[in-house]
A and B are shown apart, each in its own frame.
Chain A
Amino acid sequence: MPPDDPSGSSIADPGSTAARVAVNAVARLPAYVLRVPSGPYRSLNPLTRFVIAIASAAVAFGVRGWTGPLAVLVLTAALALYAGVARSLRRFVLATIPIVVSILLVNSFLYPGATDVVLRVGPLAATGTGVTVALQATLRVVAFALSVALFSLTTATDDFLADLERRGAGRRLTFIIGSAIGTIPAMASRVTEIVEAQRARGLDTEGSVRRRIRGIVPLAGPMVFGVLSEVEERTVALEARAFSAPARRTVMRVLPDDGVQRALRWLVGLGSLILVAASIAGRFPLP
């Protein structure tokens, strides 16, 4: 198999000068740039892991009954164990608690049309139908969260972006995805800075709920204006670094991919699509 040309095109002759230069160039990259993935699951191409995550989420939400979300939960848990990130999944499960609680309460007590009361709490009555729906919805939400979590725990953003770029995704698209993900911690640190600055000037941001809500107003202004003023600055900075150059961007890292993974992506992607479509159409009844 010919070596990958880091510039993105394939090299016809592995013994050619171009091939040798490409291989030499990759050899010059330090290990902290190459970041060779460890373990079999992490060694899968990022796109393969992405397709698995999307397919899992689709099955969790799209296949009726218990089977879909349960199968996704079991599969995701198994993959997480295999990838060595099972412990880290806990915090994602914890993050779903608020939404799970609301799903359980609303569906159990307020499910429209259900009359099979199983529990009364004051004027409210929980129904068997409502509880069943609530538990199924909970399973779907948790399965969805875990499949997304598995992807994010096993895939570095820049790996995913590097792979998308190699596949020909535009630099603007990959930049937008990358900077959007990078913006979250940047915004968090900006909020901290603004809060500290406002506190230093005597703003009370702790104590009662009312005080905390009042504290949001002086926080939001600098936050919004700061972000807006940064947009132009960032545009200038990007243009100063030839961001709009017409050439195809040089690919620095080529992540592993092969025919087996391509087949797996098609199989998983199409399989989940057919499963969801059949389930919605009622042609594939599952418990």
Chain B
Amino acid sequence: MTLRLSGVTYRYAGARRNALDGVDLELAPGSVIGVVGPNEAGKSTLCLVASGLAPVVVAGSLGGSVTIDGRETVTMRPHELAQRCGILLQRPEAQLSGTAATVFEELAFGPRNLGLPLLSVVERVEASLATLDIAALADRDPTRLSGGQAQLVALAAILALRPAYLILDEPTSQLDPQGTRLVGDALRRLAAENRSAILVVEHKTALLDRLADRVVLIDEGRIVRGGPTVEVLDDPALAGHGVEPPPRVRVQAALAAAGLDDIGVTDQLLAELAS
């Protein structure tokens, strides 16, 4: 049971070059993979391809193989993909249906599309609201939310479909530190308790530092570095790819630069900085 990309190349219809080039990736249940990289590196394309929406919905040519639980995504219909692999897009406001009068109904949109019994729909909505601690937003008009609130609602709407795999494209880009921490905690719980497999694109490396099991660095459509989170995020080469290292790494680097790397900064303090 994995989401696997093998030698994947992807080129958007009408584009001259590949947006992804020879990408290999494996996402197993209960694991969290962080994706970092500069702008235009191919991170969002990776999300679309991994979720199967490209090329099934987004026109383009796919090379290599993308499988979800052993099935090629190109052979699956969009609603089948949606139940297995949820994707959160970069702009949450574009992800909302635009037809729901309340956040509660917005979250019910996906489960209702599946034709689930009403009781299941209600239970899923309530569970999603609770997971992200946004029950207070349930009666609000989804079109009148702040950016951060819309981001949480869009994520909750995906969770309501209960996919085994979650592909999140900058899920905290509009959130304040508290909201970011909340999302981080929720994702960690989903991975640990529900065995959800999560691929998360993030510029906030501090979040990945405490959330991801592994991190991949992507640049110009290729995975240029991948491995356990600490190894990748500690790599000084990260900054050369336009990725800011997490605070823990920057503090260590600053101490080292000042010749103070032997003052005994404890792991606990660094962990505090990371969180």
Count of chain A residues with a beta carbon within 8 Å of a chain B beta carbon? 47
Known interface pairs A158-B100, A234-B94. Does A244 touch B118 (Cβ–Cβ under 8 Å)?
A: no
Q: Is the CB of A233 within 8 A of B119?
A: no
Which residues on the B side are within 8 Å of A179 (C-beta)? Answer: 97-99
Interface residues on B, range: 35 or more
What's the least CB distance linking A260 to chain B, in Å? Answer: 27
What's the least CB distance linking A221 to chain B, in Å? Answer: 20
Which residues on the B side are within 8 Å of A241 (C-beta)? Answer: 82, 95, 97, 109-110, 113, 157-158, 161
Which residues on the B side are within 8 Å of A25 (C-beta)? Answer: 117-119, 121-122
Which residues on the A side are within 8 Å of B51 (C-beta)? Answer: 240
Query: Which of these, A21, A234, A240, contacts B119 with CB under 8 Å?
Result: A21
- Docked Cα-Cα span, A158 to B79, in Å, equals 24
Which chain A residue lies CB-closest to B138? A30
Q: Is the CB of A240 within 8 A of B104?
A: no
Which residues on the A side are within 8 Å of B99 (C-beta)? Answer: 158, 161, 174-175, 178-179, 182
| Chain B 3-28 near chain A by CB (<8 Å), digits 1 or 0 | 00000000000000000000000000
Select the stretch in A53-61, A72-80, A248-256, A273-281 that faces chain B: A248-256
- Docked Cα-Cα span, A265 to B77, in Å, equals 40
Task: From A179, A233, A237, name the one whose CB has the most chain B CB atoms within 10 angstroms.
Answer: A237
- Docked Cα-Cα span, A161 to B97, in Å, equals 14
Q: Does B35 contact A (CB under 8 A)?
A: no
Q: Is the CB of B101 within 8 A of A156?
A: yes
Which residues on the B side are within 8 Å of A248 (C-beta)? Answer: 115
Q: Is the CB of A240 within 8 A of B114?
A: no
Known interface pairs A7-B115, A179-B99. Does A33 touch B104 (Cβ–Cβ under 8 Å)?
A: yes
Chain B residues with CB under 8 Å of chain A are 48, 51, 53, 56-58, 77-79, 81-83, 86-87, 89, 91, 94-102, 104-105, 108-119, 121-122, 138-139, 143, 157-158, 161
